């Protein structure tokens, strides 16, 4: 808890290293312990490396307490490691389509995951103009050795009556982490992205409602522009994506809006274009046409390239639910919904 009694939640402490080893695990634990000793709740510790052999080995041999990622891979490499990925415990990756026209062959990778290990759709995303060194999976991508930190900042909004009050709390916590880690040569910085989860204080939509903004009004106001501008300028040492996440199924109150038809793919992309980071944990029916998914991916690519903005597309399926049917995701981090067409 911080000095005001607010819960300080670190979503991710992520160590980036070119070559993984057992020492990497120890280093990660030491960083997590430093934050815990200062009153932070550390939800996950993560390792990202472009060393697939090392990643899959540590994942096999570990106790499941660490999340792993091989970061950005090309389409041929992704198809080559698909079986390993589907059988892994906690491994994520993203496929970069910034300069390759999305087509049905790229969608076939997602389809294969749905068919063989649908829970792993949560650990895979398509990326465009991705920002390296973000501690958030599956967009995390290795660029240099070091570590980055990402928060669950919505929890700091508990009791806030205004947007500015919450943003000031964020700034204080970022400054505290910078001060704690600034002596570390390998400190890359904080990804200031807003990463909501669940409902209540963890939900971004809940925060908006508490300050008097219903979803429809917020979506056509400048509130997200104000927040995203603050995220890019406020931290002493920022790294990664530094934008607003609208994870459809992770923010349970956003999932409710989706079910009411108020978070269509069009609204998702509209918000992502000016303040967000793309399509995130968005439900897709098993009968959704591959050509339609490819069409959406081409639009995301076009917007990302036109505005030189990092965007991604992470679709979620339980491997069973068709359009019009309710999902059975069996995950505490994802809310079940009735799937709508893209």
Which residue from 95, 161, 160, 163 is spatially nearest to 123, judged by alpha carbons? 95
For residue 85, the SS3 value is: helix
Please tell me the total count of domains within the chain: 1
Confidence (pLDDT) at 4: 41
Which residue from 46, 58, 55 is spatially nearest to 15, judged by alpha carbons? 46
Q: Kindly state whether residue 120 falls inside one of the protein's structural domains.
A: yes
Confidence (pLDDT) at 161: 86
How many alpha carbons lie under 13 Å from residue 157 in its C-beta half-sphere? Answer: 26
Please check whether residue 262 is in contact with residue 216, taking contact to mean a CB–CB distance below 8 angstroms. yes
Query: Residue 195: how many CB atoms within 10 A of its CB?
Result: 25
Q: Kindly state whether residue 308 falls inside one of the protein's structural domains.
A: yes
Q: Phi, psi (5° rounding) for residue 76? A: -60, -45
Q: Kindly state whether residue 336 falls inside one of the protein's structural domains.
A: no
CATH number of the CATH domain containing 76: 3.20.70.20
Mean pLDDT by 10 residues, the chain (342 residues): 62 95 91 95 97 94 93 95 97 97 97 98 98 98 97 92 92 94 92 94 93 93 93 82 96 97 97 94 98 98 96 98 97 97 96
Q: What is the DSSP string of 124-149?
A: EEEEESPPTT-SSTTT---SSSEEEE
Dig out the tokens for 117 from the structure: 């290990």
Confidence (pLDDT) at 107: 98
Q: Kindly state whether residue 339 falls inside one of the protein's structural domains.
A: no
C-alpha to C-alpha distance for 201 and 4, rounded to whole angstroms: 15
Confidence (pLDDT) at 235: 59
Please check whether residue 204 is in contact with residue 211, taking contact to mean a CB–CB distance below 8 angstroms. no
Query: Residue 328: how many CB atoms within 10 A of its CB?
Result: 11
C-alpha to C-alpha distance for 4 and 273, rounded to whole angstroms: 35
Q: Kindly state whether residue 2 falls inside one of the protein's structural domains.
A: no
Where in 138-255 does DSSP place strands (E)?
A: 146-151, 187-191
Where in the chain does DSSP place strands (E)?
A: 9-16, 41-48, 66-73, 91-96, 124-128, 146-151, 187-191, 278-283, 311-316
Domain span at residue 207 reads: 9-316
Report the relative pairing of strands 146-151 and 66-73 from DSSP bridges.
Answer: unpaired
Q: Kindly state whether residue 158 falls inside one of the protein's structural domains.
A: yes
Q: Kindly state whether residue 335 falls inside one of the protein's structural domains.
A: no
Confidence (pLDDT) at 5: 41
Whether the full predicted model's pTM is greater than 0.85, yes or no, is: yes
Confidence (pLDDT) at 6: 54
Contacts of residue 289, defined as CB under 8 A and 6 or more positions apart, other chains included, come to none
Please check whether residue 55 is in contact with residue 24, taking contact to mean a CB–CB distance below 8 angstroms. no
Q: Kindly state whether residue 175 falls inside one of the protein's structural domains.
A: yes
Please check whether residue 72 is in contact with residue 41, taking contact to mean a CB–CB distance below 8 angstroms. no
């Amino acid at each position: 808890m911080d000095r005001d009694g607010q819960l300080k939640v670190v979503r991710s402490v992520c160590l980036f290293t070119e070559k993984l080893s057992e020492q990497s695990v120890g280093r990660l634990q030491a960083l997590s312990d430093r934050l815990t000793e200062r009153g932070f709740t550390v939800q996950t510790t993560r390792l990202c490396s472009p060393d697939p052999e090392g990643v899959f080995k540590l994942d096999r041999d570990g106790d499941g307490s660490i999340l792993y990622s091989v970061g950005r891979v090309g389409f041929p490499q992704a198809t080559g490691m698909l079986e390993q990925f589907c059988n892994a415990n906690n491994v994520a990756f993203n496929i970069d389509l910034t300069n390759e026209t999305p087509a049905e062959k790229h969608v076939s990778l997602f389809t294969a995951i749905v068919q063989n290990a649908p829970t792993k759709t949560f650990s895979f995303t398509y990326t465009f103009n991705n920002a390296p060194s973000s501690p958030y999976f599956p967009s995390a991508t290795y660029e240099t050795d070091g570590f980055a930190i990402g928060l669950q900042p919505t929890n700091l909004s508990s009791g806030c009556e205004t947007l500015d009050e919450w943003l000031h709390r964020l700034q204080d916590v970022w400054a505290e982490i910078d001060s704690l880690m600034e002596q570390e040569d390998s400190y890359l910085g904080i990804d200031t992205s807003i990463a909501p989860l669940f409902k209540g204080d963890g939900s971004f939509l809940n925060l908006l409602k508490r300050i008097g903004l219903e979803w429809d009004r917020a979506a056509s106001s400048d509130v997200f522009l104000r927040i995203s501008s603050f995220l890019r300028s406020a931290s002493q040492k920022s790294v990664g994506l530094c934008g607003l996440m609208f994870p459809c199924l992770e923010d349970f109150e956003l999932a409710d809006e989706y079910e009411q038809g108020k978070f269509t793919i069009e609204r998702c992309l509209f918000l992502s274009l000016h303040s967000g980071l793309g399509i995130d944990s968005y439900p897709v029916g098993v009968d959704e046409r591959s050509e339609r998914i490819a069409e959406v991916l081409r639009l995301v690519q076009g917007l990302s390239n036109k505005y030189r903005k990092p965007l991604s597309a992470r679709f979620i399926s339980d491997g069973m639910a068709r359009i019009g049917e309710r999902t059975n995701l069996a995950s505490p981090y994802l809310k079940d919904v009735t799937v709508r067409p893209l």
